[in-house]
Amino acid sequence: MLYTSTTQLIGQTPVMSIAVPNRDAVLVLKIEKNNPGGSMKDRMARSMVLAALEDGRLAPGGTIVESSSGNTGIGLALAALEFGLRFIAVVDHHAAPDKIRTMRALGADIRYVEGDFREDEVAVVERQRMAAQLGAQLPGALFMNQSDNPANPDGYAGFVDELLGQLPEGIDAFVGCVGTGGSMTGIAQRLKRINPAVRTIAVEPAGSIVFGQPGHPYYQSGTGTPQGDEVGKVLDYGCIDEGVQVTDSQAFETARYIARRKGLMVGGSTGGTIYKALEFIASGKLTGAVVTPVADGGEKYLGSVFDDGWMAERGLLDPAVAARLDAWLTAEARAA
């Protein structure tokens, strides 16, 4: 098929299995970093723009405004190009520099929030405030507000349809990260409609407040809800069987491990979902086909997660994580 726009390349991402020795389970990764913007957020970004154009909230030639740590912003920048729109991305210091460079390369107008924030503090509240203000003040502008936008979870229908075709023997569990809650809700709701027995596990960073734990700063980007912010209205707790937390060290060390052992570069939040999925499998709590998305690629985090100096300076290196992963993934370690 000959495509005529970049956003037509969204979807139909491949799957890759990782065997777990001596367990009645296989970990299946859906490689969402193969979307044109490099993440699964491309799906919901286009969905939100289409919905806004169709119902008249956004007019041709108008301006999209959104608060983003990068991936949603890249997806919106692509959608803006397709539909002849302007895009303003409101970001903070927590966004990976390469994501900001990518948005700018795609024509986005980058606006940084002001304020004195810790390096490991996500300034979501100030980002949202500034984005809402710009959306209200600028003629023809619309604040997309992905956290409360129903077109966010709706954008993941294709993800589930693809999975069903790729795994005809069935899906037994889904493990995904939860930030705004859009991807977790959109995917889990649809999987549950098809098979209510599917286990759904949502993973947030330690320090996030989605599941009622005490909030504190964390380094994981584009996932979780930081202290002081509100959990997105798109999140449906009813479709989630269990919410768990993963530490920065567990998430980042797993991403590094997968790169070095499997040759697959995954982002930090994906490292966290892989770690928790394997932990559940090792404990016998999950069996069968356990799916987790590669939400984005590690190529966007070469200066942080994959930089030994950056990790060491922040006390995030933890060799025990790799040893634990070896024990879960190698028959030799398990036998020893």
Residues labelled as active-site residues:
41
How far, in Å, CA of 66 to CA of 95, rounded?
A: 14
199 within 8 A of 286, measured Cβ to Cβ: yes
- According to DSSP, the residues that pair with 201 across neighbouring strands are 175, 242
Q: Find the helix packing angle between 248-262 and 268-282, rounded to 10°.
A: 90
- Angle CA(241)–CA(18)–CA(265) in degrees, nearest 5? 95
175 within 8 A of 290, measured Cβ to Cβ: yes
